[in-house]
């Protein structure tokens, strides 16, 4: 398992996953959209939940305002399409 520096909560996988969560999405859909294995998506989403960057309703996950802010800090200009 790769450990991220404490100041880099997201990493490239977290960014990819968050960018798919602009609308409520299942883990299976995230895996399909990103091309990541489902086990990787589960672990990443768990860390994003713990950090407050996403929230869960039933089996669906969606980016939070804190997640959008974190992506903006990373300079992801795709964020302008997100409205939560």
* Predicted pLDDT of residue 57: 94
Full-model pTM: 0.79
User: What is the tens place of the pLDDT at every residue in 5-53?
Assistant: 444 567 889 999 999 999 999 999 999 999 999 999 999 999 999 999 9
| Residue 76 confidence (pLDDT) above 70 | no
Q: Domains (ranges, CATH) in the chain? A: 11-81 (1.10.10.10)
* Predicted pLDDT of residue 16: 94
* Predicted pLDDT of residue 52: 96
C-alpha dihedral over 68, 16, 60, 48, to 10 degrees? -60
* Predicted pLDDT of residue 78: 53
Question: Using CA atoms, how far apart are residues 49 and 4, in angstroms rounded to an integer?
Answer: 16
> Which position has the token pair 């960014």?
15
């Amino acid at each position: 398992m790769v450990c991220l520096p404490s100041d880099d909560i997201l990493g490239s996988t977290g960014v990819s996953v968050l960018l798919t969560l602009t609308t409520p999405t299942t883990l299976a859909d995230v895996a399909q959209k990103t091309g990541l294995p489902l086990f990787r998506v589960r672990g990443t989403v768990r860390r994003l939940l713990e950090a407050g960057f996403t929230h869960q309703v039933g089996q669906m996950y969606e980016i939070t305002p804190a997640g959008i802010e974190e992506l903006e800090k990373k300079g992801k200009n795709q964020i302008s399409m997100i409205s939560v």
